[in-house]
Amino acid sequence: MQATLKSKINFEGIGLHSGKVSKLTLIPAPANHGIWFKRIDIPNPDNMVEAIYFNVKDKPLCTQLENNCGIKVSTVEHLMAALAGCGIQNILIEITSQEVPILDGCSEAFVEAILSAGIQKQNAKQFALQIMSRIEVNYEEAYASLSPAQSLEIDCSIDFQEEAIGQQTKSLNMANGTFVKELSSSRTFCRKVDIDVMHSKGLALGGSYDNAIVFDKGNVLTPGGLRYYDEAVRHKMLDALGDLTLAGIPIIGKYVGIRSGHMVTHRLLKKLFSSPSSFSFSSSCFCCSASIANCWPYSSVVSLPRSRSCARSFLSRSIFNCA
């Protein structure tokens, strides 16, 4: 079954890259709504941005969404991971600026608030995308792939020169609350040597020891140190889940990321949906009970669904027309 929140949730905090204060309100939404952002600081009808892979625009160090009218929402990955980890498929997210607040640099505050508000099950079937054959992408030294599995598995490896990070590898089956227990509290991180470079590019302007782990060679500069000895690779897994959630449907398969980041995972999703023979669906279509193979809701990549009711549903939720 699909799910939404039982009640509204409010957040306020600084944007990691913009350095600007942002307010966020998570609002329960009806079945089949999906995940949408609404820029309430932009007073026109073109302020809705769907959290879906074909709205992703390449941007360093975060995941940024942009609708057909150029309206943007950035640094969505930690919130998306929290929604996926808590099983929320339908939500309207009102936001007062371009960037989602970073809070303490992980998904834990989002998760705790969602669980406190309560999760409302909805009388609508939830289906999943089953990976049938391996899809992989390479970009410079980075690699990512999706391959067949019985549930969602995430396997990440990182390799940094800093002694305090070094080589880390971790693999987890994401079933049965694994995200909440193992990954949600793992914070974003950076190297001290990179901070000035990021600032010169207008990035990490809101970064601090309160919302990021800072490594300097063999030292952890953030007060209190690490929450886990392998917190860095755990955060990479958190990011991967958030980015995979932009498929718009739960994925059943194994994700492998080697030195991967947002850009590589986004390219992997685009390649996946351009190769329809590489996946199938695990249940009938939520729109019309027809075979999901004929009604899958991503017609911008392949031909429109054969069922007219499915096509209308997809067009109404995924194509945003500008005035």
Encoded tokens for 66: 């942009």
Q: Indicate the helix (H) or strand (E) that contains 192.
A: helix 192-200
Count, in order, helices (H) and strands (E) of the chain. Answer: 7, 21
The residue type at 284: S
Active-site annotation holder among 17, 78, 235, 262: 262
3-state secondary structure of 215: strand
Judge whether 262 counts as a catalytic residue: yes
C-alpha R_g of the chain = 19
What is the distance between the alpha carbons of residues 249 and 135, in angstroms, rounded to a whole number?
17
First to last CA, the chain: 35
Q: How many CB atoms within 10 Å of residue 9?
A: 18
Q: Kindly report the length of the chain.
A: 323
Pairing mode, strands 56-57 and 64-66? antiparallel
Q: Which residues are catalytic?
A: 262
